[in-house]
Structure 1
Amino acid sequence: MVTLEEDQTVELKKIKKRPFVATFILVVGLFVLCLAIGASIALGAADIDLQTVWQALVHFNPELTQHQIIQELRMPRALGAALIGAFLAVSGAIMQGMTRNPLASPSIMGVTDGAAFAIAIAFAFFPHTSSLQLMLWSFAGAGLGASLVFGVGSMSRGGLTPVKLALAGAAVGAFLSAISSTIAIRFDVAQDISFWFAGGLAGTRWVSIQIIVPVAIIGLTLAFILARSVTVLSLGDEVAKGLGQRTRLIKILGTVVVLLLTGAAVSVAGSVGFVGLVIPHITRFLVGVDYRWIIPCSAILGGLLLVLADIGARMVNPPFETPVGAITALVGVPFFLYLARREGRGL
């Protein structure tokens, strides 16, 4: 008979570690991300060569229009895309690890729709809300959305399964989105909040970066600290408890990280979907299932994906912009359908 200790040892040995690949992703991925940020600054409705971009960075001249465009518009937008992509990817990785649900992500689990719903309320009833207050509303809405999804999913017969949780997320998300649209029309704020519904980075300014940088420091640092615990938790609650893991505390802290990162992302860029679904799966495939590698690599790859998606959003139909959420959906929807079909056998 296999003892619990032996079973735990077997489970721990299943944790695949690919430190060489992970190190390669961190080093090369960070370099490519920097190149993508540079391209994002250079590309747009106004053609600006790389030499002008460099001059604007090292010798800023406020009298030159191109320098002003780079400093005031494109730089915060590119940095915001990198940070928000990292936020969403890390949130998705933590959610998938804690719940052992491959379909978990902020956009599917009602977190982003809840945050957008709270922002709609803020615009309708508190029209003079500051950027910081808007972020607090976003945090509260993210928590509401996640609570509703897990509450609805828990009421299903047979308990939660990945697909049932995804269906609950889709239902709650559609419900919150419908209410948000009703509020927008009823209180004549549809034009103000349409940006958050579509998802985009056009409105990102330095004040937004100044607000989300502290969130990045706190949220990402806490995520890195929790990485080892999330790895153990991904083996199952019984194994984690057998190894002395305080599962409830880890889940609470992990949820706080997800709400912080997702709330900050939605308050700046709106409902950008599927980054938190696709990137953790790609990262897990590349580096194994050790979250000490998954979380930092997901942050790099998530930032890279959203920066490239934002470039694509500007280049598809210039000089008009395509919502960046539509670009990420082109990648995310087929991937989600594939995962749903694969996990549907567990229903």
Structure 2
Amino acid sequence: MASQPGFVGLADAATPDRPDAPAGGVGPPPAMARGALAARSVGLVAALVVLAVMCAVSLAVGTRHIGLGGVWSALGHDDGSENAYIVRELRVPRTILGVLVGLGLGLAGTVMQALTRNPLADPGLLGVETGASMAVVLAFFLLGVTTPAGYVWFALAGAAAASLLVYTLGSAGRSATPERMVLAGSAVSAAINSFVAAILLIHGRTFDQYRFWVVGSLAGRGFPLVWQLGPIIVVGAVLALGLGRALNALALGEETGRALGVRAGAIRWSGGVAVVLLSGTATAIAGPIGFVGLAVPHFARLITGPDNRWVLAYSAVLAPVLVLIADVAGRVIVAPGELEVGIIMAFIGAPVLIVLCRRRRVVQL
């Protein structure tokens, strides 16, 4: 099947006449390779500049507008004013967590799509979100935990347990193929969702607490979550970014990958660990936020082509930009009230993804 421009199959990256052909293929002319590298590097720098701008906007915009001069003054000196408190204690941790959540979801979605060769894969495919939801509901129902700092660890443990169960079922008796992993993830998610729904139906107080978490929000999260969970996302990001070359080799098929020195089982385990660390922690921090892990890798491929090394790098920057845009928009649209970032992301992500799918034919990865 011929690939259309934009959403290119990862297998196309391996053909010798592609600029991104891996070792063993015939490389492009040096001038072409240098030009492609320069263009991608400039694009990545531009994306980082946009991320910096969105961080500044996130610090300045809200129910109480604070100019950039006031933001800078508050960051440099805590004079005890209301503006200083808003910037230092509310917006700074919220912005940092927005970047971390976007980083986690964007990289997790990219790794999931590459591992499963499924262009519609997202962090929920391994049961990460449903596992986190079940653990949060149990924390509400059995232990009465109500604060983000309290239930975040339950969410992370639930995400890890569900992902391990999916992998165990998907690899039982034979190798863990992408198709078996998808089926196992769907089955486990359906079972967990039924269990969660049963608890919510019989316990109204748990439902009242759960519904504020499940919509996805960055509000009310402070510096404790940054220090506690930020390092986990950083570790997961380093692991995911280091998988780019191996994921390119796996796109050629397991036999070819082994010939290139890549151990498919080890890469799948490493990728699964990265997905759990990244999306599990992001979901624990903010609740389930859809479309980030699904749509951002496609945006990145439109810019970079199918090379996973660059797709991962771009996703690590573009996803936080998208999350911050949604968070700031939620503060402005219904000011002085606020819409949760998960709701805004659904409004932004769904139409954009539909347009992309109509304009660019998504082929199998």
Per the TM superposition, whether the score is higher than 0.5 is yes
Quick one: structure 1 residues 168 and 310, their matched pair in 2 at CA, closer, same or farther if it must change by over 3 Å? Answer: farther
Moved more, 183-192 or 213-222: 183-192
Give the alignment's Cα RMSD to 1 decimal: 3.3
Distance (whole Å) between structure 2 residues aligned to residue 100 and residue 178 of structure 1: 28
Residue 82 of structure 1 corresponds to which residue in structure 2? 99
Residue 343 of structure 2 corresponds to which residue in structure 1? 326
Residue 4 of structure 1 corresponds to which residue in structure 2? none
Quick one: structure 1 residues 250 and 150, their matched pair in 2 at CA, closer, same or farther if it must change by over 3 Å? Answer: closer
Quick one: structure 1 residues 126 and 20, their matched pair in 2 at CA, closer, same or farther if it must change by over 3 Å? Answer: farther
Which one-letter code corresponds to 1:27 in the other structure? V
Q: TM-score, with normalisation over the residues of structure 1?
A: 0.84
Provide structure 1 residue ranges, at least 5 long, that are not aligned to the other structure. Answer: 1-6
Question: How much has 1:166 moved relative to structure 2?
Answer: 7.0
SS at match of 2:281: helix
Question: How much has 1:289 moved relative to structure 2?
Answer: 1.6
Residues 311-334 of structure 1: CA deviation (Å, up to 9, x unaligned): 111112112221211222223334
Residue 55 of structure 1 corresponds to which residue in structure 2? 73
SS at match of 1:303: helix
Residue 257 of structure 2 corresponds to which residue in structure 1? 240
Aligned residues, how many? 334
Q: TM-score, with normalisation over the residues of structure 2?
A: 0.80
Residues 118-170 of structure 1: CA deviation (Å, up to 9, x unaligned): 11112222334886664442233224444666788899xxx9887x9878766
Moved more, 164-173 or 66-75: 164-173
Q: Percent identity?
A: 34
Q: Does 1:309 align with 2:313?
A: no
Residues 48-79 of structure 1: CA deviation (Å, up to 9, x unaligned): 12111110111122x20111011111111111
- Equivalent residues of 1:110, 1:173 under 8 A apart: yes
Question: How much has 1:181 moved relative to structure 2?
Answer: 4.0
Residue 39 of structure 1 corresponds to which residue in structure 2? 57
Moved more, 233-242 or 94-103: 233-242
Q: Does 1:11 align with 2:51?
A: no
Residue 259 of structure 1 corresponds to which residue in structure 2? 276
Residue 129 of structure 2 corresponds to which residue in structure 1? 112
Distance (whole Å) between structure 1 residues aligned to residue 357 and residue 161 of structure 2: 26
- Equivalent residues of 2:108, 2:123 under 8 A apart: yes
Which one-letter code corresponds to 1:11 in the other structure? T
Moved more, 234-243 or 282-291: 234-243
Provide structure 2 residue ranges, at least 5 long, that are not aligned to the other structure. Answer: 1-10, 21-32
Distance (whole Å) between structure 1 residues aligned to residue 13 and residue 331 of structure 2: 51
Matches within 5 A, 1:156-167: none
- Equivalent residues of 1:116, 1:196 under 8 A apart: no
1:186 to 202, 211, 214: 202
Q: Does 1:290 align with 2:294?
A: no
Q: Does 1:277 align with 2:281?
A: no
1:197 to 179, 204, 214: 214
Moved more, 229-238 or 331-340: 331-340
Residues 286-315 of structure 1: CA deviation (Å, up to 9, x unaligned): 112222211121010000000001011111
Which one-letter code corresponds to 2:202 in the other structure? R
- Equivalent residues of 1:102, 1:339 under 8 A apart: no
Moved more, 13-22 or 228-237: 13-22
Residue 299 of structure 1 corresponds to which residue in structure 2? 316
